[in-house]
């Protein structure tokens, strides 16, 4: 079924992309990515603008996660020109990487919430770890992001008291804390039922529009890609290729 949907997407006629004035915040030119001396992605040429909603599709092991990790410099650039915001990823200094990462929100498939503390304490931990000290401002920011994801009355809950969809909403709230310019969502619906997964994708689309942040979401769920349109980049045979439809 997934293959049939993907084939249908790829068969749609290619149209000329409209010219716009959106700011380019990610640009890769002839980039090579290796992991443990094995080439993962070859000759990557891709650009992503502020406010883009991007689906990153492809089989397991095709390089989707490696591409995402390269954006926040967990995986180094082997060669080529790779720029995100004003940072050159191939030459960024180690001391600047934390500042780069503060401009990026990350949503993990497996949540990675701290299980020994409440929702509020999970979010407070992130803000204090990134330099926030004012208790009033911390409380205000936590209330803002929980409201944005529809979890404003759940700050006192422990993670195990929440459903999978609620936990993922908290993870998205955590990603929003430092008002990121890019949100990276690595298979955010992978552990959720279809209805809850649809709600999470709708929420990410709304955040993309309301915050003018770019969202890059990796997924195996081609039905979601078709239901909630966005820019599509396919990982296949060591290459990234934009599918225009």
Share of the chain above pLDDT 70, in %: 91
Report d(CA 80, CA 171) in Å as an integer.
33
Rounded to a whole number of angstroms, the CA Rg of the chain reads 18
pLDDT tens per residue across span 8-20? 444 443 333 434 5
| Rounded percentage of the chain residues whose pLDDT exceeds 90 | 69
Mean pLDDT, rounded, for 28-41: 91
Strand (E) or helix (H) holding 243: strand 239-243
Residue 243 has a pLDDT of 84
pLDDT at residue 19 in the model = 40
| Dist. CA 174–CA 111, nearest whole Å | 10
- pLDDT for 134-148, tens place per residue? 999 999 999 999 999
pLDDT band per the 50, 70, 90 thresholds, residue 221:
confident
- pLDDT, residue 245, reads 61
Q: With bands split at pLDDT 50, 70 and 90, how would you rate the model's confidence at 115?
A: very high
Rounded average pLDDT over 192-198: 90
How many CB atoms lie under 10 A from the CB of residue 71?
21
* N-term to C-term CA, the chain: 20
Distance CA 133, CA 151 (A): 23
Q: What is the pLDDT of residues 59-74, one digit of tens each?
A: 888 889 999 999 999 9
| Contact (CB, 8 A) for 89 and 80 | no
Domains plus CATH for the chain?
2-21+50-72+99-243 (3.40.50.300)
Which band of pLDDT confidence, cut at 50, 70 and 90, is reported for residue 229?
confident
Torsion region of 83: left, alpha or beta (phi above 0 gives left; psi -120 to 50 gives alpha) = beta
């Amino acid at each position: 079924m997934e293959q049939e949907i993907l084939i249908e997407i790829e068969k749609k006629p290619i149209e000329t992309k409209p010219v716009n004035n959106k700011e380019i915040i990610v640009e890769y030119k002839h980039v090579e990515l290796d992991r443990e001396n094995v080439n993962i992605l070859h000759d990557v040429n891709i650009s992503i603008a502020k406010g883009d909603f991007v689906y990153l599709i492809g089989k397991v092991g095709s390089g989707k996660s490696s591409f995402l990790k390269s954006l926040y410099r967990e995986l180094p650039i082997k060669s080529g020109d790779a720029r995100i915001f004003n940072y050159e990823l191939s030459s960024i200094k180690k001391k600047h990487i934390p500042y780069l990462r503060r401009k990026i929100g990350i949503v993990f498939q497996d949540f990675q919430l701290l299980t020994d503390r409440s929702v509020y304490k999970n979010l407070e931990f992130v803000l204090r770890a990134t330099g926030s000290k004012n208790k009033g401002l911390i409380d205000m920011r936590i209330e803002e992001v929980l409201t944005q994801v529809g979890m404003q009355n759940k700050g006192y809950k422990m993670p195990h008291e929440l459903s999978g969809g609620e936990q993922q909403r908290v993870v998205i709230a955590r990603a929003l804390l430092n008002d990121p310019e890019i949100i990276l969502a690595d298979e955010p619906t992978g552990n959720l039922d279809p209805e809850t997964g649809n709600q999470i994708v709708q929420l990410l689309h709304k955040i993309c529009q309301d915050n003018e942040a770019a969202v890059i979401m990796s997924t195996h769920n081609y039905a979601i890609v078709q239901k909630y349109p966005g820019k599509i980049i396919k990982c296949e045979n060591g290459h990234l290729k934009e599918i225009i439809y």
